[in-house]
Amino acid sequence: MRKKLLTFAAVTALIAGSCSGNGKSSASDSDSTPAKATSETSSAVKSDEKAQNYVIADGQLLSANGLPMVVDFSAEWCPPCRQLKPIFASLKEEYKGKVDFVTINVDSLPDLASKYKIESIPALIFISRDGQELYRSIGFREALEIKADITKYLN
């Protein structure tokens, strides 16, 4: 019984710590330049490319369509990530042909999440056409806030 309680407490602490934050930070707040992609990461991403409109080139996420991107680093078990999912899907339709929206599951692609220094989820990273990180926000965001960031950073 004690072991179960300790495990529950550890999992709860992990979820609270990993899936937290309402703040935002710009790319200039930290060194967020991703390192080169490994062949292991590239092969994992290649299998997912058809579902996601992105590629990895020289360790950077790029839109397969040559568009700027909003990348959502999230996980299925994260409540704020699940709350953001329908908003993200709606924005994806609204900005179709102008901005690519990509979701990266941090559990499926931990190396990529590590390269982008994802410490809290959901994390939205705004990436230019040439793959440069322009801005990132951490935590749940409303549609109007994301739209304002798109206008400010990707137009």
Q: Which residues are catalytic?
A: 78, 81
The residue whose two tokens read 């440069």 is 132
- Cα separation, 134 vs 36, whole angstroms: 18
Instruction: Report the C-alpha gap between 47 and 61 in whole angstroms.
Output: 15
* Distance separating alpha carbons of residues 129 and 52, to the nearest angstrom: 16
d(CA 15, CA 9): 10
- Residue length of the chain: 155
Residue 78 · residue 122 · CB < 8 Å: yes
For residue 122, say if its preceding peptide bond is cis, omega within 30 degrees of 0.
Answer: yes
Q: Are strands 133-138 and 69-74 parallel, antiparallel or unpaired?
A: unpaired
